[in-house]
A and B are shown apart, each in its own frame.
Chain A
Amino acid sequence: MQSLIRNPKEFWAGVMFTVLGVIALVIGQDYTMGTAGKMGPGYFPTALGGILTVLGLIAVVRSFIKGGETLDKFALKPAFLVLFSVFLFGILMRTAGMVIAVMALVIVGGLASNKYTWKANLALAIGGALFCSIVFVKGLGVPMPLFGTWFGN
Chain B
Amino acid sequence: MEVFSNLALGFDTVFTVTNLLYCLAGVFLGTAVGVLPGLGPVATIAMLLPATFALPPITSLIMLAGIYYGAQYGGSTTAILVNLPGESSSVVTALDGYQMARKGQAGKALAVAALGSFFAGTVSTFLIAFAAPPLAEVALKFGPAEYFSLMVLGLVASVVLANGSLLRAISMIILGLLFGIVGTDVNSGVPRYTFDIPDMADGINFVVVAMGMFGIGEIIVNLENEDTRTVMMKKVTGLMPTKEDFKRCVWPVLRGTGLGSILGILPGGGAMLSSFASYSLEKKMAKNPEEFGHGAIQGVAGPESANNAGAQTSFIPMLTLGIPSNPVMALMIGAMIIQGIQPGPAVMTEQPELFWGLIASMWVGNFFLVVLNLPMIGLWVRMIMVPYNMLFPAILIFCAIGVFSLNNSNFDVYMMVIFGLFGYICAKLGAEPAPMLLGFILGPMMEEYLRRALLLSRSDPMVFLERPISAAMLILSAVALAMVMLPALRKKREEAFVE
Closest beta carbon of chain B to A46's beta carbon, Å: 10
Closest beta carbon of chain A to B60's beta carbon, Å: 14
User: In the complex, what residues of A have CB within 8 A of residue B416's CB?
Assistant: 86
User: In the complex, what residues of A have CB within 8 A of residue B351's CB?
Assistant: none
Mark interface residues in B176-192 (1 if CB within 8 Å of A CB, else 0). Answer: 01100100010110101
Closest beta carbon of chain A to B169's beta carbon, Å: 10
- Contact call A48/B178, Cβ cutoff below 8 A: yes
Closest beta carbon of chain B to A112's beta carbon, Å: 5
Complex interface: stretch among B316-324, B360-368, B419-427: B419-427
User: In the complex, what residues of B have CB within 8 A of residue A105's CB?
Assistant: 393, 396-397, 400
Q: With CB as the reference atom, state the residue of chain B lying closest to A115.
A: B389
Point out which of B174, B187, B404, B414 has the most chain A C-beta atoms below 10 A from its C-beta.
Answer: B174
Interface residue ranges of A72-90 to B (CB < 8 Å): 72, 74-75, 78-79, 82-83, 85-87, 89-90
Closest beta carbon of chain A to B178's beta carbon, Å: 5
Total interface residues on A, CB under 8 Å, equals: 72
User: In the complex, what residues of A have CB within 8 A of residue B414's CB?
Assistant: 87, 90
- Contact call B397/A45, Cβ cutoff below 8 A: no
Closest beta carbon of chain A to B190's beta carbon, Å: 4
User: In the complex, what residues of A have CB within 8 A of residue B421's CB?
Assistant: 79, 83
User: In the complex, what residues of B have CB within 8 A of residue A114's CB?
Assistant: 226-227
- Contact call B393/A75, Cβ cutoff below 8 A: no
The answer, among A41, A48, A55, for a CB contact under 8 Å with B190, is A41
Interface residue ranges of A6-27 to B (CB < 8 Å): 9-10, 12-13, 16-17, 20, 24, 27
- Contact call A113/B171, Cβ cutoff below 8 A: no
- Contact call A37/B459, Cβ cutoff below 8 A: yes
Q: Please measure, in the bound complex, the distance between the C-alpha atom of A49 and the C-alpha atom of B181, giving whole angstroms.
A: 12
Interface residue ranges of B460-482 to A (CB < 8 Å): 461
State whether the Cβ of B410 lies closer than 8 Å to any Cβ in chain A.
yes
State whether the Cβ of B413 lies closer than 8 Å to any Cβ in chain A.
yes
The answer, among A17, A41, A52, A86, for a CB contact under 8 Å with B188, is A41
- Contact call A56/B171, Cβ cutoff below 8 A: yes
Q: Please measure, in the bound complex, the distance between the C-alpha atom of A90 and the C-alpha atom of B401, giving whole angstroms.
A: 9
State whether the Cβ of A5 lies closer than 8 Å to any Cβ in chain B.
no
- Contact call B178/A45, Cβ cutoff below 8 A: yes
Q: Please measure, in the bound complex, the distance between the C-alpha atom of A114 and the C-alpha atom of B175, giving whole angstroms.
A: 34
- Contact call A74/B428, Cβ cutoff below 8 A: yes
- Contact call A136/B192, Cβ cutoff below 8 A: no
User: In the complex, what residues of A have CB within 8 A of residue B219's CB?
Assistant: 82
State whether the Cβ of A36 lies closer than 8 Å to any Cβ in chain B.
yes
Mark interface residues in A86-123 (1 if CB within 8 Å of B CB, else 0). Answer: 11011101100010011001100110111111001100
The answer, among A40, A62, A121, for a CB contact under 8 Å with B167, is A62
- Contact call B389/A86, Cβ cutoff below 8 A: no
The answer, among A32, A48, A109, for a CB contact under 8 Å with B396, is A109
State whether the Cβ of A144 lies closer than 8 Å to any Cβ in chain B.
yes
- Contact call A124/B394, Cβ cutoff below 8 A: yes
Query: Interface majority SS on A: helix, strand, loop or mixed?
Result: helix
State whether the Cβ of B250 lies closer than 8 Å to any Cβ in chain A.
no
State whether the Cβ of B390 lies closer than 8 Å to any Cβ in chain A.
yes
User: In the complex, what residues of A have CB within 8 A of residue B447's CB?
Assistant: 44
- Contact call A31/B405, Cβ cutoff below 8 A: no
Total interface residues on B, CB under 8 Å, equals: 63
- Contact call B389/A116, Cβ cutoff below 8 A: yes
- Contact call B187/A109, Cβ cutoff below 8 A: no
User: In the complex, what residues of A have CB within 8 A of residue B410's CB?
Assistant: 90-91, 93-94
User: In the complex, what residues of B have CB within 8 A of residue A128's CB?
Assistant: 393-394, 397
Interface residue ranges of B381-407 to A (CB < 8 Å): 387-390, 392-394, 396-397, 399-401, 404-405
User: In the complex, what residues of B have CB within 8 A of residue A116's CB?
Assistant: 389
The answer, among A58, A71, A136, for a CB contact under 8 Å with B429, is A71
Interface residue ranges of A34-78 to B (CB < 8 Å): 35-41, 43-45, 48-49, 51-52, 55-56, 58-59, 62, 69, 71-72, 74-75, 78
Q: Please measure, in the bound complex, the distance between the C-alpha atom of A150 and the C-alpha atom of B405, giving whole angstroms.
A: 20
State whether the Cβ of A4 lies closer than 8 Å to any Cβ in chain B.
no
User: In the complex, what residues of B have CB within 8 A of residue A48's CB?
Assistant: 174, 177-178, 181
State whether the Cβ of B451 lies closer than 8 Å to any Cβ in chain A.
yes
User: In the complex, what residues of A have CB within 8 A of residue B170's CB?
Assistant: 55
User: In the complex, what residues of A have CB within 8 A of residue B226's CB?
Assistant: 113-115
Mark interface residues in B139-177 (1 if CB within 8 Å of A CB, else 0). Answer: 000000000000000000000000001011011001101
State whether the Cβ of B100 lies closer than 8 Å to any Cβ in chain A.
no
State whether the Cβ of A134 lies closer than 8 Å to any Cβ in chain B.
no
Q: Please measure, in the bound complex, the distance between the C-alpha atom of A109 and the C-alpha atom of B424, giving whole angstroms.
A: 16
User: In the complex, what residues of A have CB within 8 A of residue B393's CB?
Assistant: 105-106, 109-110, 121, 124-125, 128
Q: Please measure, in the bound complex, the distance between the C-alpha atom of A27 and the C-alpha atom of B181, giving whole angstroms.
A: 13
Point out which of B216, B227, B446 has the most chain A C-beta atoms below 10 A from its C-beta.
Answer: B216
**CB within 8 Å of A: which residues of B?**
51, 54, 165, 167-168, 170-171, 174-175, 177-178, 181, 185, 187-188, 190, 192-193, 216, 219-220, 223-224, 226-227, 387-390, 392-394, 396-397, 399-401, 404-405, 408, 410, 413-414, 416-417, 420-421, 424-425, 428-431, 446-447, 450-451, 454-455, 457-459, 461
Supplied contacts A44-B447, A83-B420, A91-B410, 13 more A-B pairs, CB within 8 Å? A13-B429, A45-B192, A48-B178, A75-B223, A78-B223, A78-B224, A79-B421, A93-B410, A102-B397, A115-B226, A115-B389, A120-B389, A132-B397
Q: 15 A-B residue contacts at CB 8 Å? A: A10-B167, A13-B171, A16-B425, A36-B454, A37-B458, A41-B188, A45-B193, A55-B167, A75-B224, A90-B404, A102-B401, A112-B392, A124-B390, A136-B401, A144-B404
